[in-house]
């Protein structure tokens, strides 16, 4: 086994164009060849598997090896994707747009991709600089491209990067879904099996996108909610979470007529080390602490935070009952606020529909029904949400919102920010606030509450074992609540996509959903409940959460 590993590693080393990962791997090979157990284990981890290309593209830690993100793997992915696009085009010349964020190696991976696409005979268009993911998703449609690639790992840890793929044409700039993922993966594997990315044709005949693409995104996004009279004097705080959002956000809020925010300067500009946060995700504890400090000192009325590639949005409001006087709204709270906004605007429009992932609040379905709109509940991920027929708004609880489907068919934390500013301005005009709007939401559509239990693991087999246990012996109760029905979404209904998801409906109306995270080493459990008041719904969620924790402890 060690001989085979060494042979595989040396073959990889010979084709690696990156001096940094070559040196990294050469040192490990030397130690492993001398029998060092730790080095042999390291090689087994790096080459015992390869990062799987799926509907989320590629995502993983940077480093040498087939199970890491690096220039060899990206070259294989780009060449395989090019072959897929050429096969799909049937003799035409496909166009592909490439974007990248501020993470380590993002620009290098994007440039490699542009050169390989051009070398394969595609028309390749590289965005002019590092930009948010929603700009790339917009550019695919705006330029009439056949496909798009965004180099980003979104809100993952600093040493991660990723490769997200979009399709144009009939897919309207949405992320790929099955069977495209398997077909692309097959082409990538053929390139990998050939064994030498250095022999792949490259060309510098790719284009750099004109600034007009960014300007068009700015104009379209500013039009989501132009500032009204209530925006005058609005005090708000913004953080880009060390990512690429601020430059674009600044242009859009200016174009839309909103006051300039107080910016968290320590997190304003792209920084691949994400030095002020333990984890660059606004959902994580502590990530928004600097924004809270600034909001308290400036008397702000709300905080808006993007994740590093600006496809997600967090919103926080003053709350005298919260620790420190501020609290971050849940993704479901923001989703229902924005969903009600969209429903009011779309009421009476034939075929209009709202959509959310199945782990998001059932409250969106109630809103859709109240306004006479269609409603779709999809598997997790905007690759599914964006494809809902007639969609005018979609969201999932992990801070992702699609508010402008006519221009971007993906979650977009910047257009969502503009929509929230519009809601805040409208409320201010009536002497109210986002907190008032939340209270009105409950009174109008019913009081919904949600919670989540998230278990991060070092060993992914733990998640596999828990899911297997729950399937083999389904729980009859969660805490004191009996399980009224259990569904395994691996067994899909006819015509519906399957997913590694378990859903339990509880006696009394609660709901529990269990699934592995698609992007992180986590088991995630989603809890929903409804009550006669906000406090009653929240208390019901807390009770169910205690039962979930006990169940997971029993099955782990």
Closest Cα partner for 405 from 104, 134, 150?
134
**Active site includes 485?**
no
Catalytic residue among 154, 174, 360, 450: 154
Pairwise CA distance, residues 482 & 515, whole Å: 20
Question: What is the rounded CA–CA span in Å between residue 314 and residue 308?
Answer: 12
Contact status, residue 144 vs residue 93, Cβ threshold 8 Å: no
- Convert 368-419 into a string of H (helix), E (strand) and C (coil): HHHCCCEEEEECCCHHHHCCCCCEEEEEECCCEEECCCCCCCCCCHHHHHHH
Extended strands (E) in 225-368: 236-239, 262-263, 302-306, 313-318, 326-328, 353-357
The helices-and-strands tally (H runs, E runs) of the chain is: 17, 22
d(Cα 116, Cα 102) in Å, to the nearest integer? 21
57: number of Cβ within 10 Å: 23
Which value, in Å, is the radius of gyration of the alpha carbons in the chain?
A: 24
- Secondary structure (DSSP) of 186-226: HHHHHHHHH--GGGS---S-PEEPPTHHHHHHHHHHHTTS-
As a whole number of Å, the end-to-end CA separation of the chain is 32
Distance CA 283, CA 329 (A): 10
How far apart (Å, rounded) are the C-alpha atoms in residues 137 and 334?
22
d(CA 213, CA 248): 12
Q: What is the total residue count of the chain? A: 556
CB atoms within 10 A of CB 498: 13
Torsion region of 144: left, alpha or beta (phi above 0 gives left; psi -120 to 50 gives alpha): left
| CB atoms closer than 10 angstroms to residue 98 | 26
Task: Using alpha carbons only, give the angle 275, 258, 215 rounded to the nearest 5 degrees.
Answer: 75
Active site (catalytic) residues: 154
């Amino acid at each position: 086994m060690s001989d085979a590993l060494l042979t595989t590693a040396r073959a990889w080393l010979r084709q690696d164009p990156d001096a940094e990962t070559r040196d990294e791997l050469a040192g490990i090979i030397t130690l492993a060849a001398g029998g060092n157990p730790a080095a042999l284990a390291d090689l087994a981890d790096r080459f015992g598997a390869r990062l799987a290309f799926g509907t989320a593209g590629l995502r993983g830690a940077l480093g040498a090896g087939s199970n890491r993100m690096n220039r060899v793997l990206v070259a294989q992915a780009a060449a395989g994707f090019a072959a897929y696009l050429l096969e799909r085009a049937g003799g035409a010349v496909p166009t592909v747009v490439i974007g990248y964020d501020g993470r380590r190696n993002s620009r290098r991976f994007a440039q490699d991709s542009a050169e390989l696409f051009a070398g394969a005979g595609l028309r390749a268009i590289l965005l002019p600089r590092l930009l948010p993911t929603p700009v790339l998703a917009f550019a695919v449609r705006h330029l009439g491209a056949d496909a798009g690639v965004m180099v980003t790992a979104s809100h993952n840890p600093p040493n991660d990067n990723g490769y997200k793929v979009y399709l144009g044409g009939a897919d309207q700039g949405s992320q790929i879904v099955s069977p495209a993922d398997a077909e692309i993966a097959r082409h990538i594997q053929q390139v990998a099996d050939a064994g030498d990315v250095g022999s792949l044709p490259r060309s510098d005949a790719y284009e750099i996108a004109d600034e007009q693409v960014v300007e068009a995104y700015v104009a379209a996004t500013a039009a989501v909610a132009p500032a009204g009279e209530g925006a005058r004097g609005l005090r708000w705080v913004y953080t880009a979470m060390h990512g690429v959002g601020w430059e674009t956000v600044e242009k859009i809020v200016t174009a839309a007529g909103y006051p300039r925010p107080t910016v968290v300067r320590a997190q304003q500009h792209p920084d691949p080390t994400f030095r002020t946060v333990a984890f660059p995700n606004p959902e994580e504890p502590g990530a928004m602490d600097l924004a809270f400090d600034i909001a308290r000192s400036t008397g702000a009325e709300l905080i808006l935070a993007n994740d590093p590639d600006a496809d997600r949005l967090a919103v926080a409001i003053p709350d005298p009952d919260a620790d420190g006087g501020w609290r971050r709204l849940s993704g479901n709270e923001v989703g229902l606020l924005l969903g009600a906004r969209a429903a009011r605007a779309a009421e009476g429009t034939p075929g209009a529909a709202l959509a959310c992932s199945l782990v998001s609040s059932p409250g969106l379905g109630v809103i859709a029904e109240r306004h006479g709109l269609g409603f779709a509940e999809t598997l997790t991920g905007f690759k599914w949400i964006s494809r809902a027929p007639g969609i005018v708004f979609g969201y999932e609880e992990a801070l992702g919102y699609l508010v402008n489907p006519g221009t971007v068919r993906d979650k977009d934390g910047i257009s969502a920010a503009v929509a929230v500013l519009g809601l805040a301005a409208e409320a201010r005009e009536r002497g109210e606030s986002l907190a008032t709007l939340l209270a009105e939401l409950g009174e109008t559509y019913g009081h919904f509450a949600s919670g989540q239990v998230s278990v991060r693991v070092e060993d992914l087999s733990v998640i596999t074992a828990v899911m297997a246990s729950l399937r083999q012996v389904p729980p009859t109760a969660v805490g004191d609540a009996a399980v009224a029905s259990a569904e395994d979404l691996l067994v899909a209904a006819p015509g519906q996509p399957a997913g590694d998801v378990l859903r339990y409906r509880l006696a009394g109306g609660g709901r529990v959903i269990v699934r592995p995270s698609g992007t992180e080493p986590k088991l995630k459990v989603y809890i929903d409940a409804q009550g006669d008041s906000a406090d009653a719904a929240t208390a019901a969620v807390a009770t169910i959460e205690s039962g979930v924790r006990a169940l997971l402890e029993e099955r782990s």
